[in-house]
Amino acid sequence: MEWIVGVCVVMSMFLMSWWILCGKNDEDAVAKVNVPKGNSGWPLIGETLDFIASCYTSTPVSFLEKRKSLYGEVFKTCILGSNVIVSTDPEVNKVVLQNQAGNFVPAYPKSIRELMGEQSILKMNGTMHKKVHTLIAGFLRSPQLKARISTDIQHTVKQCLASWKPHHPIYVQDQVKKITFPVLIKVLMSVGPGEDLDFLHREFAEFIKGLICLPLKFPGTRLYKSLKAKDRMVKMVRKIVDERKKIVKDSNADDDGDAVNDVVDALLREKGDSNYSSRLSTEMISQNIIEMMIPGEETLPTAMTIALKFLSDSPLALSKLQEENMELKRLKTNGSDDYAWTDYMSLPFTQNVISETLRMANIVNGIWRKSVNDIEVKGYLIPKHWNVMASLTSVHMDDKNYENPFEFNPWRWEKIGVVAGNNYFTPFGGGHRLCPGLELSRLELSIFLHHLVTTYSWVAERDEIIYFPTVKMKRKLPISVQPIH
């Protein structure tokens, strides 16, 4: 008898949890028409196992494709502990990304939310978000920064490539981080090579281990250790911000664009009520500098690594890329002229290789938001408080949008071109949250590819891309290089 009661209790708890996690919103939605169709999957886990399994195949988009064929372009599912409406429709994605009426707010897993401060650019909304985003994007996109940082990128890339030994395995995924991290730290707070940079590198590695983990916060847990690493970094950044504040105040240089050397300066130039006192507090700036390392550091090295992977598998594209870049190198060597950032960005095929890499790599596979109201989009009802995932991958890999979408074909961009506001190509997101690092990323990729293909030829070992929890190479992409004479 007791065991029957026990089983009943366990089953009721199980069903209750299912109802809370996946079922409650279904019920809210029943009365309404046009809530996207779909399946909530198994109790507690929903369709998470299917989702993760597809990420370990060469076609992670299969999870989405299967549901799209069953329920339509917008459907509901339950993954990673959340009910979510998934959109594979470029027009619905546009509405979610543009967020004109302020109906959507960012939605991240709990562990990520815990790691971000309350005033993080990744979390904030409305006027404050607009202000901080504009300051950061304005600085990162400025020609002054690009001119200055190109020299640093060039130097760092050359230094990294010079350390590669012929006939020794080189793990590209690790190597490119030696380029992107110093550049990012320079852009954020002007810290150059040395002890401070090493300290930040170590602590950041500890910090990001907590991005995807159980959201338990007490001594010994992963999240706790990550938060401690963040505290140590913030302490260091706080000192930099305070020192810089004094300089700004003393020089009263806030109108002088040239005085803005990094993101710290850009945020300090935010005008408060008085002329040079910033409305953004030291704490807020310091936290945001650390938090900007999250989208800045994981994405770009992945793009560089995967570009190299795609090129290794596409000899024709590699040879055309090499030809274009050798031509620039010859011009520069004969004219003994320094490279300008515009030289790198003016190579059309190189830009096409970058676009094609970003389309196929889908480093950010989807944008997660939460609805703050009942919203109707294109005949679908998105109920209040539901998670929405605007899938970028499914749009980039749909044969309605791209012919032979699984083929690496940089030439396709000669016809399409990269047009701002294009709903079919959104590797950097869109709307108010369009990645402020877009142009810097393209520049860094261009400089890396230029020096790589004009310095070495290489043979890549067999390796595969995996898509969970983040996009990366299974074996870190080992290659063996040979200098080009």
Q: Examine residue 449 and tell whether it contacts ligand HEM (CB under 6 A).
A: no
Task: State the minimum distance, in angstroms, from the CB of residue 280 to ligand HEM.
Answer: 15
* Nearest Cα to Cα of residue 482 among 166, 80, 50: 166
435 is in an annotated binding site: yes
Instruction: Name the segment binding ligand HEM (CB under 6 A); options: 18-26, 271-279, 290-298, 458-466.
Output: 290-298
Q: How far is CA 436 from the centre of its chain?
A: 11
Q: Which two tokens stand for residue 341?
A: 């950032």
CB 103 within 8 A of CB 381: no
CB 35 within 8 A of CB 27: no
Q: Examine residue 363 and tell whether it contacts ligand HEM (CB under 6 A).
A: yes
* Nearest Cα to Cα of residue 392 among 401, 382, 404: 401
Q: Kindly tell me which of 50 and 89 has the beta carbon lying closer to ligand HEM.
A: 89
Instruction: Name the segment binding ligand HEM (CB under 6 A); options: 32-40, 267-275, 296-304, 408-416.
Output: 296-304
Q: Is the dihedral of CA 167, 170, 175, 176 positive or negative?
A: positive
Residue 368 pairs in a beta bridge with 389
* Binding residues with ligand HEM: total (CB under 6 A): 25
Please give the Cα distance from 203 to 208 (Å, whole number).
Answer: 9
Cis peptide bond N-terminal to 469, omega within 30: yes
Q: Examine residue 295 and tell whether it contacts ligand HEM (CB under 6 A).
A: yes
Q: Which two tokens stand for residue 220?
A: 């010994």
Q: Kindly tell me which of 240 and 440 has the beta carbon lying closer to ligand HEM.
A: 440
Task: State the minimum distance, in angstroms, from the CB of residue 300 to ligand HEM.
Answer: 4
What are the phi and psi torsion angles at 42 (to 5°)? -80, 155
Give the residue nearest to ligand HEM (CB).
Answer: 437
Please give the Cα distance from 65 to 62 (Å, whole number).
Answer: 5
Q: Examine residue 299 and tell whether it contacts ligand HEM (CB under 6 A).
A: yes
Q: Coil, helix or strand for 478?
A: strand
Q: Examine residue 122 and tell whether it contacts ligand HEM (CB under 6 A).
A: yes
Q: Examine residue 41 and tell whether it contacts ligand HEM (CB under 6 A).
A: no
Taking CB under 6 A as the criterion, which residues in 383-442 touch ligand HEM?
427-429, 433, 435-437, 440-441
Q: Kindly tell me which of 35 and 266 has the beta carbon lying closer to ligand HEM.
A: 266
Residues that bind ligand HEM (CB under 6 A): 106, 121-122, 133, 140, 184, 187, 292, 295-296, 299-300, 303, 363-364, 367, 427-429, 433, 435-437, 440-441
**Residues placed in the known binding site for heme:** 435
**Residues placed in the known binding site:** 435
